[in-house]
Chain A
Amino acid sequence: MSLLSNTFVLLGKELRTEFRSRELLTTTIVFILIVIVLFSFTFDPTSDESRRFAPGLLWLAFLFASSLMLQPCFLREQHNDTLSALRLSVTDPFAIFLAKLAANTLFLLLTELLLLPIFATMYNVPVLSVLHWLALVFFLASLGISIAGTALSAISAQARMRELLLPLLMLPLLTPILVASTEVTKALFDRAPYVQWKGIGFLAVFDVVFLTALCLFGEYLLEE
């Protein structure tokens, strides 16, 4: 019980910190917009071409953006010297991770929600009819990215060249997420859209594996 209540208090703190400045969200959204525009020059974004390339592009943009977005999540604590205080304030250190990964998932989902209409308009992909399925894929993939990313940002925050290190650790580790979510999205963008359950199941398995690993080993990441 204390794990949940601790998590909610910390989640509130994470959300307040971000919504006071909105720094993370604005920079990430602008970054993804830039990527979306730049990508349009690499192929001819007609309807058919878009169906083929857009899902991969979309997820690659989100993945790159998340490697920027997850950067400050532990760095901020370190700059302000608040990590020890945070650790002392909870009964189970896993609550710190839960709160941070919930906040990161929310931020990612919010970014995706804002960018999806723009993306769909610019690349001519119909999303309205499959919106609920897209929401499921976005949720599972964002959760996976946040779980692995939050753990790795705790590692990279304590290293030199941390800004460069996080993407290096994170991007290869998230290959399965990129592959699976791209394929599920591609099936949803198809002329005859269908749900690829295999991919959705795969994303869920990824989330469970890494959440379990984080639950088992997370506390060691916060050691001093």
Chain B
Amino acid sequence: MAKNILAAALVFLLLAAAAYASFFIAPSDAKQGLIYRILFLHVSSAWTGLTAFLIGFVGNLLYVWKRQPRWDWLGVSAVEVGLAFTTVVLVTGPIWAHPVWGIWWTWDARLTSTFVMWLLYVSYLLLRTLVEEPDRRALFSALFGIFAFLDVPLVFGSIRWWRTQHPQPIVMGGADSGMDPVMFRVLMFSWLAMLALMTLLLRQRYRLEAMRSELETMRHELEAA
């Protein structure tokens, strides 16, 4: 318990430091002024969400291979946490786009594929609620998770090649678009803070899933007795 509180406090401190750095240490953007500072939340959440989905994919693969419930717990926890971060991306995106691009949403490759990815993982969670038997639920959702993860680069590729109206979003696309070194460092630090938050959430969610599974087993045993 004390360890949990300590970890949460540490993550809170990191997030606070990242927020401070993004507001006060990173210089203002030449064109966008203050509003660009949402980047530190938006981009770091996007990367963290992708990291979580990658962990989920590994969990799914390991479940199919090893058939140990803990990999299923890891899979579902990572997907849920990834979805939370992706939701942050989808909400902060339009907030940023409106003052900068003049529109809330544009059917650009990154936005659209993030949205499709979000839908895929929502379907993954829906699938889990609709299969009753625990082993079957774990196996089928793991397999769907694998298909979904394989689909993500294809979705991104197809939309980028054919459906993007702008050649590239005007807003910086990472280090190669010539980001100020201080900005870049702050972005990396924000990502680190977000990764710490993700780890914390993932750990808690994993424990919850383990307890839920234990409860389910006990209930089955009681019913059988």
Cβ of A194 within 8 Å of any chain B Cβ, yes or no, is: no
Cβ of A34 within 8 Å of any chain B Cβ, yes or no, is: no
Give the contacts of B120-136 with A (CB-CB under 8 A): 120, 123, 126-127, 130-132, 136
Q: A158-B136, A165-B130 are in contact. Are A217 and B146 (CB under 8 A)?
A: yes
Cβ of B200 within 8 Å of any chain A Cβ, yes or no, is: no
Asked if B130 and A148 sit within 8 Å, CB to CB, the answer is: no
Cβ of A120 within 8 Å of any chain B Cβ, yes or no, is: no
Cα A55 to Cα B157 in complex, Å, equals 20
Interface code A165-192, partner B: CB below 8 Å = 1, 0 otherwise? 1001100110110011001000000000
Asked if A217 and B120 sit within 8 Å, CB to CB, the answer is: no
**In chain B, what residue has the closest Cβ to A170?**
B123
Residues of A within 8 A of B119 (CB): 172
- The distance from the CB of B158 to the nearest CB of chain A, in whole angstroms, is 4
Cα A155 to Cα B138 in complex, Å, equals 12
Asked if A158 and B140 sit within 8 Å, CB to CB, the answer is: yes
Contact partner, B154, options A160, A162, A165, A176, Cβ 8 Å: A176
Cα A159 to Cα B136 in complex, Å, equals 9
Asked if A172 and B120 sit within 8 Å, CB to CB, the answer is: yes
Asked if B131 and A159 sit within 8 Å, CB to CB, the answer is: yes
Residues of B within 8 A of A210 (CB): 147, 150
Cβ of B214 within 8 Å of any chain A Cβ, yes or no, is: no
Chain A residues touching B, majority SS: helix
Stretch of B24-32, B70-78, B159-167 lying at the A interface? B159-167
By a beta-carbon cutoff of 8 Å, the part of chain A in contact with chain B is 148, 151-152, 155, 158-162, 165, 168-169, 172-173, 175-176, 179-180, 183, 198-199, 202, 205-206, 209-210, 213, 217, 220-221, 223
19 of the cross-chain contacts (CB-CB < 8 Å) are A152-B144, A155-B143, A159-B130, A165-B127, A165-B130, A172-B119, A172-B120, A172-B123, A175-B116, A175-B155, A175-B159, A179-B159, A202-B158, A209-B154, A213-B147, A217-B146, A220-B64, A221-B140, A221-B143
By a beta-carbon cutoff of 8 Å, the part of chain B in contact with chain A is 64, 116, 119-120, 123, 126-127, 130-132, 136, 139-140, 143-144, 146-148, 150-151, 154-155, 157-159, 161-163
Given contacts A158-B136, A180-B162, A220-B64, 10 further A-B contacts (CB under 8 A): A151-B147, A158-B131, A160-B130, A172-B116, A176-B157, A198-B161, A202-B158, A209-B150, A217-B64, A223-B139
